[in-house]
Structure 1
């Protein structure tokens, strides 16, 4: 072997072992235990417990990071109402007999063609359909109020279509009509003290435009 050939052999050998060492180092890092406590992206320490930063309930967190957020989309609307009503549990029945993820009363269910409450409670798909159908019916019943008051401010409350429909889900159409007739001075509270005003505020500004008002909406 000439000196030149020996030199080329040593260079190739050095390249081989250098590449091998880099691969081993990379694989070792891949199996290194991940320390959540040292990574603020995932959690932050409280006084005695840890809180995950993401997913976050604050819209501004997603805006800063350019991460998709439900914003005012309908999916965010219905899930927010569901969490308020039942923590999103399909089989939840409260002390007053209201049923399911969206806490329907049996009389309300009958207005949209559902008479078997047991079957309803055990059918998540039916519950989701019922929520949309009730929105469609209420949107027709409250069409005049929506047209007149959407975008206005009453007693400091910014009125929106989604807020009106959420209030109707809680207290019914008549209580919402009474609220507007009294210019916001009379409003309903349920047996747990929750008011339709709080629903108008909490669930206002969502996009419910695709819901078509339907007088005869039914399952």
Structure 2
């Protein structure tokens, strides 16, 4: 009888000892180590709340051209090469079929499954639009229109959104005409959001094709 009591008591003590090693989750700030009576470093336990962590909308790659491409790609499709929207625009940069034909691409399925071709298409369209809009770039770059500082990269991004014609309409109305795409995204927003990137090395080519 005494042996049984000792056995069960031992089991109980083991369970209590193991249980004491587990504590309920508590998101709190504890002292990590004391430097003196007033200074201390704080350690924050991992949180289960998403709001406690910084959420980045897009990968930041600076104002270089690679950052420009990634920023526009994220805005258009979250950088998804195989994305097709409800209007049929496709790829990382959301090209329409007619725009693809204008730069020499007729096979939409091949385009959708070829990331390298999509990157080439993006640069080719920039070159094409830069040639069309060169006079407007020269005239308005550095000026402020409708509270937006005009830059070459912003102009080319806006042309990617709504076509070179939409950008021309914006300038001819001195920024008063509100030009938007089918989803309501405005030329103004692209002029502002994608301003100041490095696009000077993009050549202006008439009727550029791949």
TM-score w.r.t. length of structure 2: 0.74
Seen in structure 2, the aligned counterparts of structure 1 residues 166 and 45 have a Cα distance that, compared at 3 Å, is farther
Shift of 1:217: 1.2
Query: Which SS does the other structure have where 1:82 is aligned?
Result: helix
Alpha-carbon distance in 2 for matches of 1:179, 1:52: 36
Query: Which SS does the other structure have where 2:92 is aligned?
Result: coil
Q: Is the 8 A contact 2:58 2:71 kept in 1?
A: no
Aligned to 1:86, which of 77, 98, 121?
A: 77
Query: Which SS does the other structure have where 1:206 is aligned?
Result: coil
Q: Is the 8 A contact 1:91 1:121 kept in 2?
A: yes
Alpha-carbon distance in 2 for matches of 1:58, 1:180: 29
Q: Deviations over 1:71-95 (max 9, x none)?
A: 2100110100000000000000000
> Which protein is richer in helix relative to its size?
1
Q: Is the 8 A contact 2:58 2:74 kept in 1?
A: no
Q: How does 1:2-41 map to 2 (within 5 A)?
A: none
Q: Is the 8 A contact 1:77 1:203 kept in 2?
A: yes
Q: How does 1:145-164 map to 2 (within 5 A)?
A: 145-164=136-155
TM-score w.r.t. length of structure 1: 0.71
Q: Deviations over 1:133-162 (max 9, x none)?
A: 000000000000000000000010000000
Q: Deviations over 1:142-193 (max 9, x none)?
A: 0000000000000100000000000000000111001100100113111211
- Structure 2's unaligned 5+ residue stretches are 1-28, 33-40
Alpha-carbon distance in 2 for matches of 1:78, 1:119: 21
**Is 1:176–2:155 an aligned residue pair?**
no
Partner of 1:190: 181
Aligned to 2:120, which of 111, 124, 129?
A: 129
Alpha-carbon distance in 1 for matches of 2:58, 2:173: 34
- Structure 1's unaligned 5+ residue stretches are 1-36, 60-68
**Is 1:117–2:108 an aligned residue pair?**
yes
In the comparison of the two structures, how many residue pairs are matched?
170
Partner of 2:95: 104
